[in-house]
């Protein structure tokens, strides 16, 4: 896990310039436990085709399992999402697909507070395109005392509105801990 985390943090040194470059737009680091993290005003990033969120997150729980981090776009909590996931840990691989959800599970890797922070990268593709549904994909890793997980996820928000906000909440009504970090990047180009 530490190599994945190191790669995410090193990439935040960020290259700028050429088409397709990642530009750091904003970062939120929790200074206290919080039920959610939200980025608003995404409609102002008209110079970018895609958005990416790089995070290291931790759940405020002493439980033994890794928790899902749920995503909602434009504060929509209606049953307008569908997700696909594949995740593996230790000796098992599992997959799941869900339709008519009230949120996306873009990754299954929010580590409990005794076990450090779980890294993840989430892409929001064509976030301002109003001619199609918005697609999201994510990759993550997590560790809890009884579970080690690597996850690949994808999802769709079945709405053609431009994405103007994105919120992350930990499932199970468990807060994210102080020190959890979420960085928003803009991606130019095709």
| 77-134 pLDDT, tens digit each | 999 999 988 888 777 888 888 888 888 876 655 666 666 788 889 999 999 999 999 9
Written as one string, the DSSP assignment of 157-176 is E---SPP--EEEEEGGGPPB
- Provide the domain limits for residue 167: 2-12+24-180
Please indicate, yes or no, if residue 162 is contained in any of the structural domains.
Answer: yes
The runs of H, that is alpha helices, within the chain are: 2-11
Give domain status of residue 159, yes or no.
yes
- pLDDT at position 32 is 95
Q: CB of 111 within 8 A of CB of 56?
A: no
Residue at 189 is within a domain: no
Under the banding of pLDDT at 50, 70 and 90, the label for residue 141 is confident
- Which residue's structure tokens are 């209606």? 78
Nearest to 120, CA basis, from 138, 147, 144 = 138
- Whether residue 171 lies inside any domain: the answer is yes
Q: Which residue has the higher pLDDT, 121 or 62?
A: 121
* Inter-CA distances, 16 with 21, 81, 170, Å: 5, 33, 32
pLDDT digits (tens, 9 = 90+) for 147-185: 677 888 899 999 999 999 999 887 766 788 899 999 999
Q: List C-alpha distances in Å: 134 to 42, 79, 80, 123, 175.
A: 14, 15, 11, 11, 27
Measured in residues, the chain has a length of 190
d(CA 149, CA 187): 28
Report yes or no on 19 lying in a domain: no
What's the confidence (pLDDT) of residue 3?
Answer: 43
Cα separation of 53 and 56, whole Å?
10
Considering the domain boundaries, does residue 86 fall inside one?
Answer: yes
6 Cα distance to chain centroid: 17
For the chain, the domain total comes to: 1
Q: Which has the higher per-residue pLDDT, 4 or 62?
A: 62
Does 108 fall in a domain?
yes
Query: 18 in a domain, yes or no?
Result: no
């Amino acid at each position: 896990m530490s190599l994945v985390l190191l790669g995410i943090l090193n990439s935040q040194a960020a290259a700028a310039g050429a088409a397709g470059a990642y530009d750091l737009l904003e970062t939120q680091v929790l200074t206290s436990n919080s039920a959610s993290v939200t980025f608003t005003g995404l409609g102002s990033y008209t110079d970018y085709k895609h958005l990416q969120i790089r995070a290291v997150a931790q759940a405020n729980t002493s439980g033994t399992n890794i928790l899902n981090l749920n995503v909602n776009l434009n504060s929509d909590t209606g049953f307008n999402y569908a997700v696909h996931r594949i995740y593996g840990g230790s000796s098992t691989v599992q997959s799941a697909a869900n339709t008519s959800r009230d949120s996306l599970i873009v990754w299954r890797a929010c580590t409990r507070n005794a076990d450090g922070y779980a890294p993840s990268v989430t892409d929001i593709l064509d976030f301002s395109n109003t001619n199609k549904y918005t697609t999201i994909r994510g990759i993550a890793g997590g560790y809890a005392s009884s579970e080690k997980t690597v996850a690949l996820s994808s999802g769709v928000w079945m709405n053609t509105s431009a994405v103007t906000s994105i919120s992350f909440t930990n499932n199970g009504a468990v807060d994210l801990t102080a020190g959890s970090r979420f960085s928003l990047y803009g991606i130019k180009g095709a």
